[in-house]
Structure 1
């Protein structure tokens, strides 16, 4: 059976998915033999101490990458992962959305609970269907116009005052704006708007 090694401990690969959650991993380079598994589809590194996304270039068939609850400050090191469909970066310290130019197949991007101030650099993600930017520091929503396939957008608990430029998102099904100081009501045809603000 195939395995990787972390601190002399063998972790076995389970049907194209590798689960390395909560193992006190400080760096992806600590995962010995990882680069050998070019056909791996899912890599789960939740709840570690990883500060940099690195050494993933050989994993060209990766579809799912979960790095939630780490210590990441930047999005980088993903250029070779062009088949990536699901990217989970929740609960890190990321302040800027960047370096996602090659992830054209991405359909789920979770960036909630970070330190993001601006919605930017998403224009190439035309297949994106789920975007979670809740619990950040966002004040304006711009740069989502080209996300024509977006179905679910969570912007709750930010500092957004206006959301009128979402009208171009014709496939949007749900929009969560709870916990924002909106200055006006949002009216989008056929969209379920969740806004549990108390007025």
Structure 2
């Protein structure tokens, strides 16, 4: 065997190894991307549940909150924008606006003791609270998956394959409303 044949064999083996490495890296990136998409779909399921509960909550409150039509309309409008949002970034933005509208609504409810005592309203509010907890848990899972994926496409050497196949970062679901970051005031 000549030196040129050995060099060709070594180059061939290195090329085959590089191809297998690239295939493995690509498959790894696809797996992480699918995990992020799955985590987002978990949020989406809970958001749909919340969107279905909100009209019932608003309808129950309408009879009591005759002077709060602007607050009620704000919730309805924010829900409509959230339902109509297209991509993930639009949904995140719309959901943050809906969170703000719901916070304002629930603060306003405090001024209506009869409404707070209404069994139907209490049941809906409990369902909404349960759904909000599920959304928070799903957001945490989504953010964890997005971080893992974003790290993978940013770190060497997987960033080479990610760049070639145009894998892009996913945004995190973050609290943008400063009021939501504040601890609620509790008084007895």
Q: TM range, normalised to the smaller chain?
A: under 0.3
TM-score (normalised: structure 1): 0.21
Q: Relative contact order, CA 8 A, sep 6+: which one is greater?
A: 2
- Structure showing greater radius of gyration is 2
More strand by share: 1
TM-score (normalised: structure 2): 0.22
More helix by share: 2
